[in-house]
Amino acid sequence: MKRIFAVALAATLCAGIATAQELKPLNSDSEPDRMDWSELETKFGALPTLPEAFRVGGVSKTLTNEYWRSLGQGYQKFADKVGVTVAYQAAQSEGDQLGQLTIAEGMVTQGYNVLLVSPQTDANLQPVIEQAKAANVPVVNVNDAVIPQAEHYVGNVQRDNGVRVAKWFIENRPNGGKVAIVEGQAGVYAAVQRTDGFKSTIEDGGKFTVVASVPGNWDRQMSYDAATNILQQHPDLVGFYCNNDGMALGVVEAVKAVGLEDKVVVFGTDGISDAYKSIAAGELTGTVDSFPVLTGEVAMEVALRLVADQKLPRVVATPQALITKENINDFQGEGVDVRTVLMKAAGK
């Protein structure tokens, strides 16, 4: 079955590229046709009136990861605000590419008016792009894998996740040292960009050596095992950067198991609630929060504006922030409105 799927996917990819040559392959981090999320209303005005019985389909990577559940909450929050119906479905796991494709194709067949998709890889939902285009159904690629022929993308600058953490090391560990990276799923755009952003920035600092960069496949236990092996080989390690928070929390446990929590810092990516709790407890050093609920709201707004025939840029960039114990209270707690905080940071 996997082989048949791979052959069919390759054939569809070739056909899709041939029929969409007017679009250059999307690099969401550097695409020049872009705008910031905070400018949507000022540039395009209030959301236009939508047709009755309007249905939005959301297709996620998985619901076992809090990040993707939070993204769905953002979809629902904005949908409730404007009175549209949204269905949010996901594959059984982050490796179920065929299952995710089946869900997305089914939503096109069932007559959803617009799709919000978060692909498991850069390729597995490419067939849906062509199917939806034939049915005149707009598709918005929402974090974090990137479909090369996607016409619209909403998400943060993936490379900047790694860059922000590397800059923390350079500023806070002036003597340098050995560091390690725990990567996400091999070949996925976000994992590649986050890893490269960290690695190139920290090596350019001149005082750090990346002694290991190993796959964790978004999996907490696999990342725990990987970190255990790295610490055995490099007990003088000064820190880890992990491509998501679930993996980072596994690495924290590995560091604690060998009694190095006072010497080895650990950073994650995503900003899930367990990461915030771990930072507050003094275990996880930090995370780059990409604010999934807000991202979901922005993505839903973009999708609805597209359906209303507004001509939006190809990329709408959403915010991110490095969260540590020093600034954690700026982004969580009673009375904190994250949207207001981020709008202020954007100068709005």
Rounded to whole angstroms, how far apart are CA atoms 209 and 176? 8
Q: What is the pLDDT of residue 72?
A: 98
Domains of the chain in start order, with CATH, are: 22-154+292-317 (3.40.50.2300), 158-289 (3.40.50.2300)
pLDDT value, residue 155: 98
Closest CA to 31 of 168, 164, 193, 186: 193
Per-residue pLDDT at 50: 87
Q: What is the CA radius of gyration of the chain?
A: 20
- Phi then psi for residue 210, to 5 deg, are -85, 105
Please provide the distance, in angstroms rounded to a whole number, between the alpha carbons at the two ends of the chain.
Answer: 51
- Selection from 160, 155, 189 nearest residue 298 by Cα: 155
Angle at 140 between CA 136 and CA 124, to 5 degrees: 95
294's enclosing H/E stretch is helix 292-307
Cβ neighbours, 10 Å, residue 42: 8
| Adjacent-strand bridge partners of 60 | 90
CA distance 248 to 319: 21
* Residue 153 to residue 76: CA distance in whole angstroms: 19
Query: For tokens 């490269």, what's the residue?
Result: 196
Q: Alpha-carbon distance 74 to 292, whole Å? A: 7
Predicted TM-score (pTM) of this structure:
0.91
Query: Per-10-residue mean pLDDT for the chain, 348 residues long?
Result: 42 42 88 97 94 92 96 98 96 94 98 97 96 96 95 98 98 98 95 98 97 97 98 98 98 98 98 98 98 98 96 98 97 92 86
Separation of alpha carbons 49 and 62, rounded Å? 32
**pLDDT for 18:** 38
Task: Give the neighbor-by-neighbor strand order of the sheet with 286-289.
Answer: 208-215, 177-183, 237-242, 265-270, 286-289, 321-324
DSSP state of 136: T
Integer Cα distance of 322 and 74 in angstroms = 21
Residue 51's pLDDT is 81
Burial status of residue 49 (CB atoms within 10 A of its CB: 0-12, 13-18, 19 or more): exposed
